[in-house]
Structure 1
Amino acid sequence: MGKPDKERLIRTLNSHLNTIHETFQMLDQNPSSSLEKVSWDDVLKMSDQVYKQATVAGMVWTGGRLEVTEIEENMASYFNMLQGFLLVSHGSKVGAGPTLSSVIHASVKQVIDSSSKLWKESISLYGPRDSKDQNQVVPQLVGAVWEACSALKKAPSTNVTAIGRALIQVGVSVKDVLREMKELKQGPSDLDDAPEESSNKVDSSLHSQDEGNTSDDADIGDDLSAEEMRVAQSAISIISSILKVIKELIRSITSLLKLENETNESKLATLENLLRLCQGIGVQVDELGACLYPPQEVPAIKEASEKISSFLDNMQAELGSLNGNSEGFLQACNNLRNSLKQLEIELGGFADSDLESRMQNVTLND
C-alpha cells in the first residue's frame, strides 16, 4: 500500500478515463438516422447498473484492507459498465433534435463527471492512514453518482417533451423578471412639496449623510421619477403580455400535436425554431428589465422592444406554417403589440421630458 501502488492505480485510472473521454465525444454528434433508436428505458437500465457498480466500488474502498489487484478489477468492471452506458446513451439520440440532444448530453455528462470524481478522490485517499477519510468521503461520492443516475429518470425522452420543458423554463424566467419589476417604486416629487418641506428634506438628507449611509439611503437610488415610472409600467405590461403569449404558444403546440401521433423532421425543425424565438424574447425581457432601473437607458429599452416585436412576428409566422395560430395565441400577440406601442409612446414622452430638462440646465455665457 505504498507510493508505487498508488501511482499504479493512478496510471490505470487515467487509461480508463481517456477511453471514456473518447467515447463521450461521440455524443457531440448525433448518430445516423438509419440506425435503430435505443429506447430511453434501456438508458435508465444501464444507469441503474452504473450506480450498482458504484455501490460495489464504495464497499471495496470502505471495506478495510485494499489490494491493488482487487481495486483494479473493480475499476475495470466499473468503466466497462460506464462504457456500455455511453453507447446506449448515444443510440438514444437517433432522431433527436438540438434541444433533446443537449439535454441528453448534459445528463450523461453528470454521470461521467460524478464517476470520474468517485475514482479520482478515492485513489487520492489511498493509503494506510486514510481509511477514516475514505469511510467519510467515499459514501458521499457514491451518493453523487446515485443523484446523477436518478436525474436521468426525470429527463425528457422525446423531442416534444424536451422542447415543451424548455418553453416552460423561458416562462419561469420571464415570470421572475416580472416579479422583480413589480417591486420598482416611484420616488417622491419635489414639485408636490411646499418650499419649507423641500428645504427640510434637503437638510434632513445632508444630516443623514453625515451620520453615514443606511439601508434606506441605499434604496433611494432605485426610486423612479414619474416619467421613468410610466415607462416601467408599460414595460411591466409588455412582460405580462409575453407570459400570456408563451402560455398560449404552449397550449397551441399541445393541441396541434394531439392531432398527430408522430412529429416529422420538418415539424420538429419548426418547433425548434419556435423555441429559439421564444428564448430570444426571454433574453430581451432580461435586457428590458435591467434597463428599467434609474437612470433608465432609453436606447437600450427601444432596442429590446424592437427585437421582441421582430421575434413575435417570426414566431407567429412559424406557428402559422403548422396551422397552429389559435384564437387565443393571436389575441395574446395582439395584446403584446399594443403594449409595445404604448411603451413607444411613453419613451417618446420620456425623451421630450429629458430634452426639456437638459435645456433648462444650459447656462448661456456672455
Structure 2
Amino acid sequence: MASYFNTLQAFLLLSHSSTVGAGPTLSSSVHSSLKQVVDEGNGSHSKDLKISVPHLVGAVWEACSALKKTPSTNITAIGRGMTQVAVSVKDVLREMKELKPVSCDDQVDEAAGEGCAEAASEPHDDNSSEGDLGNDLSPEEMKVAERAIEVVSNTLSIRKVLIHSIIGLLKLEKPNDNSGFINSLEKLLQLCQELGRQIDEIGACLYPPQEIPSINAALEEIHSIIDAVQVEVGELLGASDVFLEPCNDLRSSLRQLASELRNSSTADIEARVENITLT
C-alpha cells in the first residue's frame, strides 16, 4: 500500500505540472479527474481489506481510464463544456414537447365543458401518477409553450454553430497560449452556461399556472446574452453570416414569445374580471 501512495504522489505532481497554461475550464476538468482517482484510492481505509481490495483495484482502474478521456487542450475542454450545456438544453426541449393541452378545450359543448370543470375541481386520487400532474395546458398556455419551444430550438442552433466554430479553432491554439484568445472562449462558455440556466428557468415556468413575469425576465436576460455572445464571436471570427442568421432567428422567436405572453396575460386578466361576483 505504501508503494501505491508513493506512486499516487508522483502521479499528482506530474498531473499538476501539466496544467501550466491551462485555463479555468481545462484546469477544472483535470482536477475533477484527479479527484476521482484519489477518492477511489481512499477506499483502502476499509476495515474489511480482504473484501475491499478487489473492488478498490477495479474502482481505481476505472478512474484512471476516465482520466485518459480528460481534455488535453483549453479549446477541447471549452468545447466539451458547451456540449454539456447543449445536452441539458435538449433535455429541457424534450420536456417542453411533453406538455399537452387540457382534455376539455373550446371545441367541446358547454355541458361537456362543465363536466370537465367539475372533474378538475375534484381532489386528485392519491394513486395517480405524479408525472401526469400539472402537464395539461389551457389553449392560451399551449400557445406560449409552442413559442417557447421555438426559442429553445433556435438556442440549440446557435450552440451548434458555436461548437463547430470552436472545433475549427483547434489548430490555432498554442501550447502556452492563455491570452485573450482563450479568455474570449472562456467568456463564451460562461455566456452559454448562463443561457442554459435561463432556458431551464423558462422550461420550469411553463407548467400551469405559467409564471409570466419570470418568463419575461428570462427573455430579457437571453437578449443581453445573445448580444454579448455576438460581440465575442465577432472578435474571434470576425463578421460571420453563418452565426448571424441563427442569432436573428432566436431574436425573432424571442419577440414572438414576448408577444404571446402579452396576449396570454391579457386573456388571464379578462378571465379574472369575468369571474368577479358583483354584490
TM-score by length of 2: 0.92
Alignment of 1:318-337 (within 5 A): 318-337=232-251
Q: Does 1:80 align with 2:11?
A: no
> Aligned pair in 2 of structure 1 residues 283, 289: CA closer, same or farther (>3 Å)?
same
Once the two structures are superposed, the pairs formed by residues 9-28 of structure 1 within 5 Å of their partners are: none
1:239 counterpart letter in structure 2: V
Percentage identity across paired residues of the two chains? 53
What CA deviation, in whole Å up to 9, does each residue of 1:219-277 have, x standing for no partner? 3532001111111011100000000000011122233444x353551100000000000
SS in 1 for 2:202: helix
Q: Aligned ranges for residues 196-235 of structure 1 at < 5 Å?
A: 196-201=111-116, 205=119, 212-213=125-126, 215=128, 219=132, 221-235=134-148
Confirm or deny that 1:353 pairs with 2:279.
no
Q: CA shift at 1:355, angstroms?
A: 0.9
How far off is 1:111 after superposition?
1.1
Q: Deviations over 1:165-186 (max 9, x none)?
A: 1111111111111111111101
Which residue of structure 2 lines up, in the alignment, with residue 295 of structure 1? Answer: 209
Matched AA of 1:183:
E
Q: Matches of residues 129-168 of structure 1 in structure 2 within 5 Å?
A: 134-168=49-83
- RMSD over aligned CA atoms reads 2.2
Return closer, same or farther for 1:165/1:363 CA change in 2, 3 Å cut-off. same
Contact 2:75 2:173 in 1 (8 A): no
| Residue in structure 2 matched with residue 339 of structure 1 by the alignment | 253
Cα distance between partner residues in 2 of 1:86 and 1:207: 62
- Unaligned segments of structure 2, at least 5 residues: none
The CA deviation string for residues 121-152 of structure 1, in whole angstroms up to 9 with x for no partner, is 1xx22xxxxxxxx4433201111111111111
- Structure of higher RCO (CA pairs closer than 8 Å, 6+ residues apart): 2
Structure 1 segments, 4+ long, off by >6 Å, are none
Task: Give the Cα separation in 2 of the matches to 1:307 and 1:214.
Answer: 40
Deviation at 1:153, TM superposition (A): 0.6
Mapping for residues 185-334 of structure 1, pairs under 5 Å? 185-201=100-116, 205=119, 212-213=125-126, 215=128, 219=132, 221-258=134-171, 260=172, 262=174, 263=177, 265-334=179-248
Larger Rg over CA atoms: 1
8 A Cα contact 1:253 1:324, kept in partner: no
State the shift of 1:202 in Å: 5.5
Which residue matches 1:103? Answer: 29
Contact preservation (8 Å) 1:252, 1:325: no
Q: Does 1:120 align with 2:45?
A: yes
| Superposed displacement of residue 160, structure 1 | 0.8
